[in-house]
Structure 1
Amino acid sequence: MERINYQHLYYFWTVSKQGSISAACEILHLAQPTISAQLAVFEQSVGAKLIRKEGRKLVLTDTGRAVFHYADEIFTLGREMTHMLKGRTSERGLRLNIGISDALPKLIAYRLIAPLLKIAEPAQIQCLEDKTERLLTEIGLHNIDMMLSDVPATPASGARVFNHFLGESAVAIFAAPELAKRYQQDFPRCLNGAPFLLPTTNTALRRSLDQWFDTQQISPVIQAEVEDSALLKTFGAAGAGLFFSPHTVASEIQRQYGTQMLGPAAGVSERFYAITAQRRMKHPLVSAILENAQHGLFDLLNKPKV
């Protein structure tokens, strides 16, 4: 495809946004056969199927979703250019779509994103929480600009993406006040047989914690395994068990959840990464997140040895 027919792209974009050709007809003031024919021509020029029928519904293919994302950006920028030419300021400002791995501590995610809320230029930030594998797919389809994760992407993921190390934090143990009173003497030996809330076995932190338990000769009583980090802390705040979290946000955890820090899990740390489809950061908001992390956001900032 040497040159895009933007009229055809606009028809495709309108149909995708409206969810049906008949709804798009009312906006475009065109007959249904006309739009159907133009969509067929556009798919032929692209060389891929963009929309398929599922019953009475129109569903975008993977390629269609990627094309729609680009079209959305193109026509949004077109509206902004029109506003600028008319002397109107942009209502949208910069936009950033961020994927957040469900295993990533939400207080860490907030610390990374918070500086964007204070910048002078208006910014529109959209956060999507999901499993790492699905977010990597979204990056490949350009549906998100970056993702924040506790593990780097590997070649096995199948996505052509780049890892940007943000930093790492030591890990500490927290508990609700009543539960914390039982485990303050002879730490960490007193934790043998203690009730614990642990991340699920498919997380990097859980693998490190299992090794730490073995090294310390501690046999935990696992009350629950919780994948979502915020839900795990909610259980912990209710006194269901002891839990682990990054030391760098200890004060926020104690204040927000009403818990107490018992002590560090010596030798255990969590690492944090930004994952993008580009090696060089062109998006100013992504660059701001990376720069913020590199200026002392975490208590340990030595890059991991490869």
Structure 2
Amino acid sequence: MINYKQFHYFWAVAKAGSIVKASRQLHLTPQTISGQIAILEASLGVSLFRKVGRGIELTETGELALTYADDIFQTGNALEETLRAGSKERSRLFRVGISDAVPKSIAYRLLAPAMSLAEPIKIICREGKLESLLGELAIHRLDLVLSDRPMPSEIDIKGRSQQLLECGVSFFAVSGLVQSSALVFPQHLSNTPLLVPGEDSAVRKRLMSWLNTLRMQPQIVGEFDDSALMRAFGQAGVGIFCAPSIIADEVIAQHNVIKIGETDQVTERFYAISVERRANHPAVVAVNMTSSKIS
């Protein structure tokens, strides 16, 4: 079994960049730290650092070990903070991961029920790729993940995916981009610059299938993982873009664009993903039970 005190010394040196800097932070002598790391390397049968000039750098094995050390000690710090907090403070924390494919205003609408609980909560939001957020959920560093897709079946996490919302999509553009008002939607989309969600977005496949069925051939001039960035390019006149119809008025007002059409043949879906140990969290229950009423 790894000696975690020695492993902590390794982590401190790797983060500080030198044994001397780490020794100052840990209030130990450099000789003590280097000696303990040498014992750790001998017990594992690997080299974690190599000498480079007067300094040291991580070996390939050391780089790998550092990723695990980050998870171990960051989780340990979070555990210490949680245990030191009173029971009331622990119950108030609601840690949410939001996939970057979920529009910010949709995320707020989905989470709003949790903000209206009788017992006020403190919400902590993290944004990122779904796979990374699910990893955080699996080790209980998040209570809930909002995504545009359910949990992938190939991910070995015992969790629950609940669809909270489904709506059609609307298409928007700056007024000068759509040349003929005589065209009937969706004819506007043919041979016109179009901005589309990135390949990681669940709606991307449904959108492209719909366009193919209509035999529309837009000029795809941009792909975006972040919906807010796609709308910014659309506002600049780069191309037509789509967004959930439920936030159409907001998109028009915020980006000074016009809506050129909408369809329910392409839908956006949003899910709350949770694990068993967090299923009874009051905020998780509130989101799962009432978000279907969003309009």
TM-score normalised by the chain length of structure 1: 0.71
Output the amino acid matched with 1:71: G
Question: Structure 1 residues 192 and 74 mapped into 2: Cα distance closer, same or farther (>3 Å)?
Answer: closer
- Counting only pairs closer than 5 Å after superposition, residues 49-198 of structure 1 correspond to structure 2 as 55=56, 61=66, 63-81=68-86, 94-116=92-114, 121-129=120-128, 131-180=129-178, 182-183=180-181, 185-198=183-196
TM-score normalised by the chain length of structure 2: 0.74
Question: Structure 1 residues 204 and 196 mapped into 2: Cα distance closer, same or farther (>3 Å)?
Answer: same
Distance 2:179 2:189 in 1: 12
**1:149-171, CA deviations, whole angstroms, 9 ceiling, x for partnerless residues?**
11112222344443222121111
Question: Structure 1 residues 136 and 189 mapped into 2: Cα distance closer, same or farther (>3 Å)?
Answer: same
What residue number does 1:302 align with? none
Where structure 1 has 5 or more consecutive residues not aligned to the other structure, the ranges are: 2-7, 43-47, 300-306
What residue number does 1:214 align with? 212
Distance 1:25 1:94 in 2: 37
Output the amino acid matched with 2:107: A
Output the amino acid matched with 1:123: K
**1:48-68, CA deviations, whole angstroms, 9 ceiling, x for partnerless residues?**
9xxx65845787655544443
Question: Structure 1 residues 79 and 12 mapped into 2: Cα distance closer, same or farther (>3 Å)?
Answer: farther
Contact 2:194 2:222 in 1 (8 A): yes
Aligned with 2:177: secondary structure?
helix
Contact 2:173 2:240 in 1 (8 A): yes
Contact 2:114 2:284 in 1 (8 A): no
Aligned with 2:250: secondary structure?
helix
Contact 2:173 2:258 in 1 (8 A): yes
CA RMSD of aligned residues (A): 4.1
Aligned with 2:176: secondary structure?
helix
**1:92-137, CA deviations, whole angstroms, 9 ceiling, x for partnerless residues?**
87333322222222321232234555656251413222x2223233
Output the amino acid matched with 2:212: D
1:220: how far off? 1.0
Output the amino acid matched with 1:127: R
What residue number does 2:53 align with? none
Question: Structure 1 residues 69 and 283 mapped into 2: Cα distance closer, same or farther (>3 Å)?
Answer: farther
Output the amino acid matched with 2:240: L
Aligned with 2:280: secondary structure?
coil
What residue number does 1:274 align with? 272
1:265: how far off? 2.2
1:233: how far off? 0.5
Output the amino acid matched with 1:206: R
**1:177-198, CA deviations, whole angstroms, 9 ceiling, x for partnerless residues?**
3334635632223432222111
Distance 2:161 2:186 in 1: 35
Distance 2:113 2:29 in 1: 49
Distance 2:279 2:36 in 1: 37
**1:251-279, CA deviations, whole angstroms, 9 ceiling, x for partnerless residues?**
11111112222221241101111223337
